Amino acid sequence: MKRDVSILKGMIVYSLRSQFAYLTSSWFGLLSSVGFCVTYLIAFGLIADRLGNIAGFSKDQIYFSLFVGEMSFLLIVARLYDPANYLNNLVKDGGLDFLLIRPFSVRLSASIMGSDILDSVQTAIIAGGVIASQINWHNLVFSPMSLALAFVVLVCGYYVCRTLIFLLTYPAFVYGDASESIGFTWTMFYQFYTPYEALPGFMKVAVYGLVPSMLMTGGVVNVALSRSGHRSVVVFSIFSAIVSIIWYKILWRRALKRYTSASS
């Protein structure tokens, strides 16, 4: 136990040091994220002023949707996307061998060493702060129960996304590289603010079933604001998360079996 804590501490310190070494690069990334948020705040503001609503959402509700989407996106990038790229590079250059012989979880190592937590935290505070400052929170109605259920949907969505992103990383274990397919993660978040209840029945199933990032954005907003269909979203999220967790374990075992070590 003491040894595990020591390894964990070492990995976190190493990861933070490498992030501090390229602080300017991280600030430029922050600039880009703030630019994105401001652009969408203006765009949604203009449409809401002209049409009165956006797909049935008021201006504050769609801003809240943007806020949840940005936070979910940063969570996915820090905890899943960056580590997936790190794992892909490890497989590509044979570095995974060294991780496999260490007496520590490979997945945990990759998620700590490959993650730019500092970058994501500062972006979450500043870009999230910019969006939050534009929301009139009094116009949004939450209840403790709805917030708790929204958190459950967020966690479930995270597990579904984790399986999907690992599925996109899987070709690295078979073909040696999965950079292009991992890049698909960005596309999932290309458009993430479509309100769940604004879609007709068949599109609800297709969009929320095939694009799990929607659960972490539209799904969370739907449940947090207790809008129509929120119970279905909660049930669907829990069911999808259970299936995803099982799939993830199967995929991980298969990936390791397919992996041809650099030293073998």
User: Which residues here bind other proteins, judged by CB under 8 A?
Assistant: 24-25, 27-29, 31-32, 34-36, 38-40, 42-43, 46-47, 49-56, 171, 175, 180-181, 183-184, 186-188, 190-195, 198-199, 203, 207, 211
The nearer residue to other proteins, 50 or 257, going by C-beta atoms, is 50
The nearer residue to other proteins, 144 or 200, going by C-beta atoms, is 200
Dihedral Cα 41, 47, 52, 54, nearest 10 deg: -70
Closest CA to 142 of 64, 59, 73: 64
Closest CA to 152 of 66, 238, 221, 73: 238
Q: Are 166 and 251 in contact (CB under 8 A)?
A: yes
The nearer residue to other proteins, 76 or 112, going by C-beta atoms, is 76
Give the shortest CB-43-to-other proteins separation in angstroms.
Answer: 5
Closest CA to 15 of 24, 27, 7, 5: 7
The nearer residue to other proteins, 37 or 224, going by C-beta atoms, is 37
**Backbone dihedral angles phi then psi of residue 261, each to the nearest 5 degrees:** -65, 150
Structure tokens at 173: 């274990």
Give the shortest CB-110-to-other proteins separation in angstroms.
Answer: 21
Give the shortest CB-105-to-other proteins separation in angstroms.
Answer: 28
Structure tokens at 253: 């075992």
The nearer residue to other proteins, 206 or 246, going by C-beta atoms, is 206
The nearer residue to other proteins, 191 or 260, going by C-beta atoms, is 191
Q: Are 76 and 161 in contact (CB under 8 A)?
A: yes
Give the shortest CB-192-to-other proteins separation in angstroms.
Answer: 8
CA–CA distance from 80 to each of 13, 72, 142, 181, 186 (Å)? 19, 11, 29, 14, 12
CA–CA distance from 244 to each of 123, 161, 167, 188 (Å)? 29, 9, 11, 17
Give the shortest CB-36-to-other proteins separation in angstroms.
Answer: 5
Give the shortest CB-89-to-other proteins separation in angstroms.
Answer: 17
Q: Distance (Å, rounded) from C-alpha 33 to C-alpha 245?
A: 31
Structure tokens at 58: 């008021």
Give the shortest CB-148-to-other proteins separation in angstroms.
Answer: 27
The nearer residue to other proteins, 1 or 49, going by C-beta atoms, is 49
**One-letter amino acid identity for 258?**
R
